[in-house]
Amino acid sequence: MSVKDGIILGKRYEVLSKVGAGGMADVYKGRDCMLNRYVAIKVLKKEYKEDENFVRKFRSEAQAAAGLMHPNIVNVYDVGEDRGLYYMVMELVEGITLKEYIERKGRLSHKEVISIAIQMCTGIGIAHAADIIHRDIKPQNIIISKDGKVKVTDFGIAKATTSNTVSSNAMGSVHYTSPEQARGGFSDQRSDIYSVGITLYEMVTGQVPFDGDSTVSVAIKHLQEEITPPSELIPDIPYSLEQIILKCTQKNSERRYKNTDDLIRDMKRSLVDPDGDFVVIPPLRNANTVIITGDELDVIGDAYDDEEDFEEYDAHEYGGDKEYQDGYDTGRHEYDGDYGNDDYDHDDYGNDDYGHDDEYDEYDDEYDDYGSGRGRRGRSDSVNPRMNKVMKILMVVVIIIILFIVIFTVGKTAGLFKFTPSVLPEKTEEEKVKVPSVVGLTEDEAKKTLNEKGLGYKVVERKESNKYEAGTVSEQKTEAGTKVKKNSTVQVVVSSGLVGNKLTIPDVSGRSESEAQSMLEQSGFKKISSEFEFSDSVAEGDVIGTTPAAGAEATEDTQIVMKVSKGAEKKTVPNVIGKADADAQSAIAAAGLSVGTVSYDYNDNVPEGQVVSQSIDGGKKVAAGTAVGISVSLGPKPAEKVSVPPVTNTSLDNARQLISSAGLSVGNITYQYDASVGIGNVISCDPGVGSSVEEGTAINLVISQGAEPGPSSGPSNDSPGPEGGITE
């Protein structure tokens, strides 16, 4: 029996529409008729329901998760079987995966990382308290809901820790798996903590620490290679956060955090003391590097061949599919965690399509080498000798190289080797780019889109299509989202004509997203999705256009992609306080903003020429072209200048009064004989009368003692001061 829209399971759950598919089960949006709420219904695929092993895994997953009820876990409500269909009813979460969020932001801030991680670890800790190990912690299994709550999902390979046996193929995703999982050993709480550490690493740096050409090669790196410290990639990472990541990802599980409570405690402390040295990593007792034999390599290869069986959910399940985005406005999505208030608004998202996950693309080389039992065994027997033999050979090679270096050095010193040095070209890693989706575009549009990414365009076939009209790309050989070397050529198939019942795509530009979808559905189209991009001319939430374009012919099965506006692209205001005037104005212009009013004023605390304040705070996001005004310091305010008053030929008392009234002070007073100036009057002053001086300046005065007495004359009784030029 197949699952059809409208069917009722368990006399209670109405199936509304399919929203996702995994390795073992399909996921549907449904409605709980008893409680009148929307739910997610996971139904075991038809080809597996007769397989007792798969049924057992399916039930085990449900039983493992059913008892976990917590805000940071995607809750399982019910499990049952109806008319041969095995199903599980779960909480319906509207939001996006942490993987999508990282891809759109590139990397997260310190506060964002800690805030998300604390909620994530809280959910994982609840499972650990119930003796359940997740075994598949990764960003794809962490959901950020519409209301900002972080939830852990997909206990697809979880197993109660009370079980004494652990199958070697119960492994999580290879990029996040712990060394003990990679080797097929026993897994406990610290295995999940290792995966948490890898997830933290990706949040901080925007990339996983280990990558390779195949799942086996990545698994071996987890066993044998140390991760590159995050600070080498992100120099400004807080010291405490880096130490937390390094402790989580120790090869030896005994050196990791014992439980999530200890990890959460350190993360909370990191929020208030980012550069503190409080993370304690236990000393190394045994070698971290694990030597892998050829036989063990086969075991690892076997285990990862079946990895797809355990990838239960893709990004569509909880956010990439249109059904899960009803009422979810990515342009206004805000994450407000319990421990941080960083806005997760639309400006932080990139333009990558929702729901795409490159991590589990098939590796042709891996399947060529390990795809069949015959191939694996033959390769192991003939190519992979035991590692101890390899190590002996490598030792011999190293000794030969050392001897060669010694001989070369001695010979060069003796002048035996003479050569002209040449400049070798610098070896650089070839730049890689993500292949954009061009299906549904016209040939010219597809070529332009690829060329803008630095990629070539080649039509390898033209054939009829039951989805796309003539001249439209109906298929691309390199899937969208795949990373390829720049200047690579993308091969496409172009429709030579549309076959089937033809429908015309209506013009929905300028309509709201919901209105546009209704128009497309009324026109007979069944597959409709949305992509979001910035637009200066179309209001946020309205449709810019569609792919294929309006007026094109298509069939009901054609994928119609609505391009929805996120509004004008916001720009981040730079913090220019303390910068030189010219540098500040250049920084504002470089940020895509305009320089507003520039004012200048005296400031005792800011050096001349530096910015004192700005009209919009640094870090705020505003529309492109917004004017940002700045205030620039003229340095300390100089004292006001005053003119020395006319004090000559006036009495000393009058001079004092004039000087004080002008805001000046009387300095030194000296006396000297001068027959031309009356006794007691001012002969001169320094600075002189009319001089421009600063307020408070001291004015030195010279006072007349009258005519100088003759040789026979005694001192005059009228003399007001000391004899002959004495200073007062």
Per residue, the 3-state secondary structure of 601-647, as one string, reads ECCCCCCCCEEEEECCCCCCEEECCCEEEEEEECCCCCCCEEECCCC
In 145-188, which ranges are continuous DSSP H helix? Answer: 179-182
DSSP 52-119: HHHHHHHHHHHHHHHT---TTB--EEEEEEETTEEEEEEE---EEEHHHHHHHHSS--HHHHHHHHHH
Distance of CA 385 to the CA centre of its chain: 43
b/e string for 167-202 if b means 16 or more Cβ within 10 A?
eebbbbbbbbbbbbbbbbeebebbbbbbbbbbbbbb
Say how far apart CA 531 and CA 587 lie, in whole Å: 32
CB 520 within 8 A of CB 508: yes
Q: Which residues are catalytic?
A: 136
CB 674 within 8 A of CB 640: no
The residue length of the chain stands at: 728
Block residue for tokens 């997203």:
513
- Cα–Cα distance list, 488 to 213, 434, 442, 480 (Å): 18, 11, 20, 14
DSSP 210-275: ---SSHHHHHHHHHH-PPPPHHHH-TTS-HHHHHHHHHHT-SSGGGS-SSHHHHHHHHHHHHH-TT
SS3 671: strand
SS3 202: helix
